[in-house]
Structure 1
Amino acid sequence: MAVNFSESKTKENLMRAFAGESQARNRYTIAAEKAKDQKMYTIEDIFLYTAEQERAHAERYYELLKDLSGETIFIDGGYPVDQQETLAELLRAAEHNEKEEYEDVYQKFGDIAKEEGFLEAASAFYQTAEIEHVHQVRFGEVAKLLEENQYFACDQESKWICTNCGYIHEGKQAPKVCPVCRHDQGYFLPYAFAAYKGEGR
């Protein structure tokens, strides 16, 4: 059914999504600071990397509202308060929130936009939902490694990469200090999470 955009539910959902992504970005930058304080620099990077993607999502939703520039959109909504103390708890909270966006929130927003005839907005909701699923899985996997004390150690031979200099260590435990650049263990990332591994690595 064709709906006037200014009177649509999609308009409100885009603003809810913009608000939600903006808050997620801030939550992740705050979590990154906690990781930095604990000298867990690669977890800081994971939070900041995800925060920047949330900013990009917010920007996309904001762009889709450009026809209402100069107006104020009033919305209601519920947003999480994640003040957990440990990094594992912060990661689990982030995993939960991303799961809700992927499975519930953006699917519903996409369905409504499609029904109202706003196919570009529908596509943005559906595609962003898939990205949030990637975030969910990554946060969950990192949390699990921390909970099982396997972020820097493993029962079998594994790999870690120093995110400062690129040194790749193979063994059952990441070095306390990088033998190349002398940065401490907090700069080591389980190699499975390395973005650019190259062929045969």
Structure 2
Amino acid sequence: MRIGVLALQGAFREHKEAFGRIGVEACEVRLPEDLITCDGIVLPGGETTAQRKLAQEHGLWEALADFGRQGRPILGTCAGLILLAKRVDGAEGLSLNLLDVDVLRNAYGRQIFSFETSLPVQRTGTSFLNGAPFQAIFIRAPKISRVGPGVSVLFDLEGEPVAVRQENVVGLAFHPELTLDDRIHRYFLELVRKAGVKRKVA
């Protein structure tokens, strides 16, 4: 099982370190050929416009879209969630359209308004957390303003979704890689493992 982390800009090193703490050596993805051998990929937090521009310049944009459409798991955190969404700030064409949600950039405020909070487990599909709350860090976080019918909400904050999943794609408004809680990264590994089994059966 090979996990990639988009390494064009943003918090890719922190994700690599998070996987390293659970015994997985994640590889850095900068070119389409880096993606070919990956079973799953993480799109990290950072600057959305810069990541999109660099991905397009490196020939990665369509490769990432194809990766998701093939059913291979993708985890997007903060800026990564924005890249996965169907619509961004009410407009289409700014993202990969792999996750049927609409997002508003920086809707929780600028960096000075970043915050940390405990997210209670109150949604189906979060048994991997063993019932314990997750300490989530929000930094210039996007807000999920609409959730499509095929999307499951994993966590919400005061009634607003902050973590969602649609089949092989998971999007988070917060940064699990900045904590020492590895449960979300383990959850993603399990998605990758199950997706690999399905491909072998098919």
Q: TM-score, normalization: structure 2?
A: 0.26
Greater strand content: 2
The TM-score, its normalising length taken from structure 1, stands at 0.26
Whose radius of gyration is greater, 1 or 2?
A: 1
Structure number with the higher helix fraction is 1
